[in-house]
Amino acid sequence: MDKIARQGMERGNLDVSAIGQAAAGFLDNVGKVIVGKRDVVELVLVALLCEGHVLIEDVPGTGKTMLAKTTARSLGCSFKRIQFTPDLLPSDVTGIHYFNQKTSEFQFRPGPIMANVVLADEVNRATPRTQSCLLECMQEQQVTVDLETVQLPRPFLVIATQNPIELEGTFSLPEAQLDRFLLRLKLGYPSEDEELAILSRFKQGNPLDSLPSVIASAELRELQKVCRQVYIEASVLSYITSITRATRTHPDISLGASPRASLGLSLASQALAAARGRNYVIPDDVKHVAIPVLAHRLILKTEARLRDRAVEQLVAEILSALPVPVE
Partner 1 sequence: MKADWRAGILAAIFIVMEGCWLYVFMSLLNSRVAEGRLSVWGLLLVLPLAFAINSLLFRLRWPALARHAVSWLSWAAAVPVLVKIQLFNSLDWLDVAWLLALPEALGQILYTFRPELLILIGSAIIWWLGRRLAIHQIDFAASVGELQFGLAILALTFLLRSWLDVDLAHQVPVSVTFFLFALLGVSVAHTYEGAGWLSGTDRGQWSGLLIVSIGLVVLLGALLVVAVSPEMIAAVLSVIKRIWEFILKVIMFLVSLIPEPEPAELPPGLQMPEMGAPEDSGWLVMPESLRNILRLGWNILVLGSILFALGRLLTQMFDWLRRRLASTAGAEVEPLRGAFRFDLLRLLRGILSKLFGFRLSLRPRQRSGSIVPEVASVRQIYRQLLEWGAAGGHPRQVSQTPDEYSSVLSRLLPEAGLALDSITRHYVSSRYGLLAPAGAELEQLRQRWCELKQNRIKEQARVHCKQEV
> By the criterion CB under 8 A, which residues form the site for partner 1?
2-5, 7-8, 11-12, 231, 233, 236, 251, 278-284, 287, 303, 307, 317, 319-324, 326-327
Peptide bond just before 155 cis, omega within 30 deg: yes
Least distance from partner 1 to the Cβ atom of residue 294, Å: 16
Q: Are 268 and 182 in contact (CB under 8 A)?
A: yes
CA distance 276 to 21: 10
Least distance from partner 1 to the Cβ atom of residue 251, Å: 6
Least distance from partner 1 to the Cβ atom of residue 326, Å: 6
Of residues 23 and 314, the one with the C-beta less far from partner 1: 314
Backbone φ and ψ for 140, nearest 5 degrees, come out as: -110, 5
Of residues 12 and 86, the one with the C-beta less far from partner 1: 12
Least distance from partner 1 to the Cβ atom of residue 157, Å: 29
Of residues 212 and 251, the one with the C-beta less far from partner 1: 251
The vertex-228 CA angle with 225 and 234, nearest 5°, equals 165
HSE value, Cβ hemisphere, 13 Å, CA-based, for 239: 23
Q: Are 13 and 50 in contact (CB under 8 A)?
A: no
Of residues 135 and 237, the one with the C-beta less far from partner 1: 237
Of residues 170 and 279, the one with the C-beta less far from partner 1: 279
Contacts (Cβ under 8 Å, ≥6 apart) of 311: 253, 295, 296, 298, 300
Residue type, position 65, single letter: T
CA distance 122 to 113: 15
Least distance from partner 1 to the Cβ atom of residue 152, Å: 35
Least distance from partner 1 to the Cβ atom of residue 4, Å: 5
Of residues 136 and 233, the one with the C-beta less far from partner 1: 233
Backbone φ and ψ for 107, nearest 5 degrees, come out as: -125, 150
Of residues 192 and 308, the one with the C-beta less far from partner 1: 308
Q: Are 314 and 300 in contact (CB under 8 A)?
A: yes
Residue 20, by phi and psi: left (phi above 0), alpha (psi -120 to 50) or beta? alpha
Which of 292, 247, 305 has the alpha carbon at shortest distance from 46? 292
Of residues 84 and 239, the one with the C-beta less far from partner 1: 239
Of residues 13 and 204, the one with the C-beta less far from partner 1: 13
Least distance from partner 1 to the Cβ atom of residue 243, Å: 11
Least distance from partner 1 to the Cβ atom of residue 7, Å: 6
Task: Provide the Cα torsion 40, 41, 45, 51; round to 10°.
Answer: 60
Least distance from partner 1 to the Cβ atom of residue 318, Å: 9
Q: Are 58 and 166 in contact (CB under 8 A)?
A: no
